[in-house]
Amino acid sequence: MYKFSSKLRLFAIVCMVLGLIGLVFGFLSVPGTVEEANEILAAQEAHHSGGEAHHEDGAAHHEEGAEHHEEANFVDEVKGEPGYSERAMAGDKDMGHAAHEDGEHMEHVLHQMQTKPWSATFIAAFFFMMIALGTLVFYAIQNAAQAGWSPLLFRVMEGITAYLLPGSVIVLLVVIFAGEHFYPWMNHELVAEDEILQGKSGYLNFPFWLIRGIIYVAGWNLYRYFAVKNSRDLDTAEGLQPYKNIFKYSIYFLAFFIVTESTMAWDWFMSMTPHWYSTLFAWYIFASIIVSAVTVIAIVTVSLKAIGQLEFVNDSHLHDLAKFMFGFSVFWTYLWFGQFMLIWYANIPEEVTYFILRIQEYNPIFFGMLILNFVFPILILMNSDFKRVSWFVVIAGIIILVGHYIDIFLLVMPSTVGPYGSFGITELAALLFFLGLFIFTVGMGLSKVSLRPKNNPFLVESEHFHY
Amino acid sequence: MSSHYEAPIREPLILGEKSYHDISVDVGAPILGKANKSWWIVFSIALVAFLWGLGCIVYTVSTGIGVWGLNKTIGWAWDITNFVWWVGIGHAGTLISAVLLLFRQKWRMAINRSAEAMTIFAVVQAGLFPIIHMGRPWLAYWVLPIPNQFGSLWVNFNSPLLWDVFAISTYLSVSLVFWWTGLLPDFAMIRDRTKSPFQQKIYGILSFGWSGRAKDWQRFEEVSLVLAGLATPLVLSVHTIVSFDFATSVVPGWHSTIFPPYFVAGAIFSGFAMVQTLLLVMRKVVSLENYITIVHIEFMNKVILLTGGIVTVAYLTEYFIGWYSGVPYENYTYLSFGAATGPYWWAFWALIICNLIVPLTLWVKKWRRNILWTFIVALVINIGMWFERFDIIVICLSKDRLASSWSMFSPTFVDIGVFVGTIGFFFVLFLLYARTFPVIAQAEVKSILKSSGARYKRIRESGKD
């Protein structure tokens, strides 16, 4: 039986308190008026000593406009329209109506700045929630596939998924209360003058969107509840009935998940830029979810083993987890490349805005993420011997997790705050808060039952697993 | 606990009172025996179809592509449909031999040999189409970046059609090497068992002097694992590149980012359906029911269910995003309301019924363990996946951006003849293979006899009491 150490608990609580203070600071320090926003921009301007065009105020922006367009090379000369890059830069909320008067522009900038703490919270909240959710999916896959190697790790996975309930509820609350900060289609005035958004209102309307969100969260948590309950019943059960239940639930959950994951990705991420669409988008996010989850399973397993709680887990189990980290990292890269290359290649204006914004405004991390998420894992985890060395796996794991935090950051920040995204106190505080909550909940989840499951029909295979 | 241990809850993969010797005898029987009358009949039919197809190909190349039903709007139809269909079928073989090896699935051992053979023969069929659909196939070698007298005029590496060349040729060569490596111990077994000097000579050459020493086996295993690790990304990338042929374009319905993984899932889906179609017949004809058991069939059906589910989600995504995009041109793509009600409604509904609705019956355990029903579903999926490619290609092209260029496609007898010809050629190769190659990887099956054989499982169970 694992005992949640008081030191770790204290650490988690300190993280949460510090994070909460930082978050409050972040929400209070956003500019309240256009003047304040202007001051911030001016300060940044001085700091960058005449940096890029978009950091200047509205008037200067317009003067440099023409030149900027030529550089961007995405101007629709025939229609004489300002060009998609310009609009993408100004944020997608402006798309579809030529609202580029000075005042309106600054109001828009203000709005983006006010959105920043919301985005910081959402990124961190989703990042930890997706770890719990991905672990649940991996757990369901292991059960449905009747894996012979992993049953010894089931309690670890169940412990990690303890975070799903608080995590998913928080994420749902964040997206609900962020409202128009994230989702321009919730703004009735904007929709009234935007025909494209009107066309989508059959799907993108608040009540339907809310109901969908509740269904996702409820469905995922219900599976988690019943799977864990049956898994614990199995310890004392006479027959295999609880095992059969988990098997059945896992399959239904996976079917439910593949659909809800897609719609979740559309609802919570894609609709941040409601003019933009990509069919692969949802599966791409899934790749991030699953690779981060397997990584955390590996890290938690190594940590618990290091303090002598998982004596029965051997290095072959670790080897298998590391292989999944490796494989899913490559899979993520495959989907990243598939989406990026196809949009880059065809270069259709309404699609390409998504990447123009990210490449022009977030260049170092947009491509740097590929080094963290692909190059490092493939080099570090290629060797079979290295995959059995715990500290090696942990280092690879930390790199992967940082990389996928950046991935989520890049999904959200450019779409919500445009070029004004950065990693500062608010982002760090949000990370700290949810890290603390994650450690606390998972620690509590792990400490409730014996880490060694009983009576699983594949347990003996798992105990003697050697690869 | 011995390494032969296996959870009792797992169903046995080898039925009957089999010993190592029995496996050699059962696998060797078709090669060491003589072909019966029905083999000759089926072979003749396949050969005739092949020759007819060959005639159609010769006619096309010598007369011109105009003998096909293509028009100025629809420049790709049956040719590329068949190409993608055959490539897709070829994917199950590599999936079974490589991906299932990485996932340590013991049940793959009874089916991998035939699945790989199917891969190779299907890729050969697929490889015909990129050549014969060319207007000037005799200049096909220009697709290769070879130094030449035109001031070293090279190819443009930006075209997915060129990537296809590299993808398909690499895929065929790697699959061939992977397959042949696995065959070495089995050819050696035939070499050692046959009485005929002619066969001894042939299988002696084919088996490369395999003597089965410990060191050989160790390296054999390592090579298999490395090849499996390479073949897995290869199999994903090959069909991905095939999907790029469409997805990199700006044609509504073709330009879709989900195509890479969705085509791969579809390829596995159709490939497994073809494996079912072939193996259900083969196990009966060659009497391999003890090796290709109902458990294998059920597992394959589960893979079909899984990949079919993924494809279904992709269909829904395509349909949804087509609507969501708000782009009016998306109203006529292969998965749109326009397609469902337009002139190609029958092709649309063929796809939905064959790929989406009929495979749903496999959720019922009784049906997915029913051999006849499995066979029917597998056939239906093969047809459905042909329609999927036809719909993607033809429906999307038939109503593109300019209404003045809208057109319909109807195949000529040459289009159909070439397709029939490739089916004939495929079966010619497969039937020859079934008579001359060990259709089950006996060396691998022997390695699981003691862990998963029915007899040994029973012995282990009774020892416990």
- For an interface test with A, the pick among B159, B257, B327 (most A C-beta atoms closer than 10 Å) comes out as B257
Q: Which residue of chain A has the CA closest to B319?
A: A279
Q: Is residue A394 part of a domain?
A: yes
Say what the pLDDT of residue A77 is. Answer: 41
Name A235's bridge partners: none
Cα dihedral sign, A114-A117-A120-A121: negative
Q: Smallest CA–CA separation between A58 and chain B, in Å?
A: 31
pLDDT-derived band at A109 (thresholds 50, 70, 90) equals confident
The DSSP code sequence of A389-451 is: -HHHHHHHHHHHHHHHHHHHHHHHHHHHHGGG---SHHHHHHHHHHHHHHHHHHHHHHTTS-S
Stretch (H or E) spanning A105: helix A102-144
Q: Smallest CA–CA separation between B69 and chain A, in Å?
A: 29
CB contact under 8 A, A334 and B260: yes
B235 pLDDT exceeds 70? Answer: yes
* pLDDT tens, residue by residue, A357-378: 999 989 999 999 999 999 999 9
The residue that leads in pLDDT, B410 or A110, is B410
pLDDT-derived band at B363 (thresholds 50, 70, 90) equals very high
pLDDT-derived band at A194 (thresholds 50, 70, 90) equals confident
Say what the pLDDT of residue A71 is. Answer: 39
pLDDT-derived band at B3 (thresholds 50, 70, 90) equals low
A53 pLDDT exceeds 70? Answer: no
SS3 B99: helix
Say what the pLDDT of residue A40 is. Answer: 77
Say what the pLDDT of residue A84 is. Answer: 47
* pLDDT tens, residue by residue, A58-77: 444 444 444 444 333 344 44
* Residues in chain A, total: 467
- Report the distance separating Cα B125 and Cα B130, nearest Å: 10
* pLDDT tens, residue by residue, A406-453: 999 999 999 988 888 889 899 999 999 999 999 999 999 999 888 899
Instruction: Tell me if chain A has a CB within 8 Å of the CB of B2.
Output: no
Say what the pLDDT of residue A8 is. Answer: 92
Q: Which tokens is A90 given?
A: 């100004």
pLDDT-derived band at B280 (thresholds 50, 70, 90) equals very high
The DSSP code sequence of B51-67 is: HHHHHHHHHHHHH-GGG
A98 pLDDT exceeds 90? Answer: no
Average pLDDT of span A31-42:
79
Nearest to B321 among A277, A341, A466 (CB): A277
A240 CB neighbours in chain B (<8 A) are 9
Q: Smallest CA–CA separation between A259 and chain B, in Å?
A: 7
In degrees and rounded to multiples of 5, residue B14 shows phi and psi of -125, 120
A51 pLDDT exceeds 50? Answer: no
- Report the distance separating Cα B10 and Cα B21, nearest Å: 24
Instruction: Tell me if chain A has a CB within 8 Å of the CB of B244.
Output: yes
pLDDT-derived band at B97 (thresholds 50, 70, 90) equals confident
Comparing A172-176, A259-263, A264-268, A450-454, the range with the smallest average pLDDT is A450-454
Contact between A254 and A141 (Cβ < 8 Å): yes
Average pLDDT of span A225-245:
92
CB pairs under 8 A between A and B: 88
The DSSP code sequence of B360-376 is: GGGGSHHHHT-HHHHHH
Q: Is residue A428 part of a domain?
A: yes
pLDDT-derived band at B8 (thresholds 50, 70, 90) equals confident
Comparing A49-63, B218-232, B298-312, B424-438, the range with the smallest average pLDDT is A49-63
- Report the distance separating Cα A406 and Cα A363, nearest Å: 12
Q: Which residue of chain A has the CA closest to B6?
A: A461
* pLDDT tens, residue by residue, B316-360: 999 999 999 888 888 888 888 889 998 999 999 999 999 999 999
Q: Which tokens is A212 given?
A: 């969908």
A330 pLDDT exceeds 90? Answer: yes
Q: Give the domain extent around A438.
A: 6-27+115-463
| Single-letter residue type at B432 | L
B237 CB neighbours in chain A (<8 A) are 334
* pLDDT tens, residue by residue, B259-279: 999 999 999 999 999 999 999
Q: Which residue of chain B has the CA closest to A267?
A: B324
A141 CB neighbours in chain B (<8 A) are none
B325 CB neighbours in chain A (<8 A) are 277
- For an interface test with B, the pick among A257, A283, A333, A463 (most B C-beta atoms closer than 10 Å) comes out as A283
Say what the pLDDT of residue A61 is. Answer: 44
Nearest to B257 among A200, A262, A343 (CB): A343
Instruction: Tell me if chain B has a CB within 8 Å of the CB of A248.
Output: no
A346 CB neighbours in chain B (<8 A) are 248-250, 255
Q: Is residue A315 part of a domain?
A: yes
CB contact under 8 A, B7 and A458: yes
Q: Which residue of chain B has the CA closest to A284?
A: B258
Q: Which tokens is A91 given?
A: 């944020």
What pTM was estimated for this model as a whole?
0.92
- A-facing residues of B in 10-39 (CB < 8 A) are 10
B455 pLDDT exceeds 90? Answer: no
Q: Is residue A319 part of a domain?
A: yes
Q: Is residue A38 part of a domain?
A: no
Query: ∠ CA(B457), CA(B461), CA(B464), 5° rounding?
Result: 145
Nearest to B257 among A148, A199, A338 (CB): A338
Tracing tokens 């060694």 back to the chain, one arrives at A452
Q: Is residue A322 part of a domain?
A: yes
Instruction: Tell me if chain A has a CB within 8 Å of the CB of B400.
Output: no
Query: How far lies A311's CA from each of A5, A231, A297, in Å?
Result: 18, 21, 16
Q: Smallest CA–CA separation between B325 and chain A, in Å?
A: 6
Say what the pLDDT of residue A47 is. Answer: 66
CB contact under 8 A, A457 and B316: no
Say what the pLDDT of residue B464 is. Answer: 66
Name B14's bridge partners: B453
SS3 B14: strand
Name B453's bridge partners: B14
Say what the pLDDT of residue B255 is. Answer: 93
A221 pLDDT exceeds 90? Answer: yes
- pLDDT over 70, % of chain B: 99
Query: At a CB cut-off of 8 Å and minimum separation 6, what does A390 contact?
Result: A302, A305, A306, A315, A318
* pLDDT tens, residue by residue, B282-298: 999 988 999 999 999 99
* pLDDT tens, residue by residue, B22-41: 999 999 998 988 888 999 99
- A-facing residues of B in 267-326 (CB < 8 A) are 309-310, 313-314, 316-318, 320-321, 324-326
CB contact under 8 A, B325 and A461: no
Counting Cβ atoms within 10 Å, is residue B215 exposed (0-12), middle (13-18) or buried (19+)?
exposed
Contact between A134 and A290 (Cβ < 8 Å): yes
Number of domains making up chain A: 1
Q: Which residue of chain B has the CA closest to A263?
A: B317
In degrees and rounded to multiples of 5, residue A408 shows phi and psi of -65, -40
Say what the pLDDT of residue A66 is. Answer: 41
Instruction: Tell me if chain B has a CB within 8 Å of the CB of A422.
Output: no
A200 CB neighbours in chain B (<8 A) are 324, 326
* Residues in chain B, total: 465
Q: Smallest CA–CA separation between B64 and chain A, in Å?
A: 31
pLDDT-derived band at A103 (thresholds 50, 70, 90) equals low
Say what the pLDDT of residue B217 is. Answer: 94
Q: Is residue A14 part of a domain?
A: yes
Q: Which tokens is B128 given?
A: 């015909």
Q: Is residue A92 part of a domain?
A: no
CB contact under 8 A, B240 and A464: no
Query: At a CB cut-off of 8 Å and minimum separation 6, what does B315 contact?
Result: B335, B352, B355, B356
- Which DSSP category does B413 fall into? H
pLDDT-derived band at A57 (thresholds 50, 70, 90) equals very low
pLDDT-derived band at A328 (thresholds 50, 70, 90) equals very high
B324 CB neighbours in chain A (<8 A) are 200, 203, 266, 277
Average pLDDT of span A148-166:
93
Say what the pLDDT of residue A48 is. Answer: 59
Contact between B124 and B157 (Cβ < 8 Å): no
Q: Which residue of chain A has the CA closest to B245?
A: A342
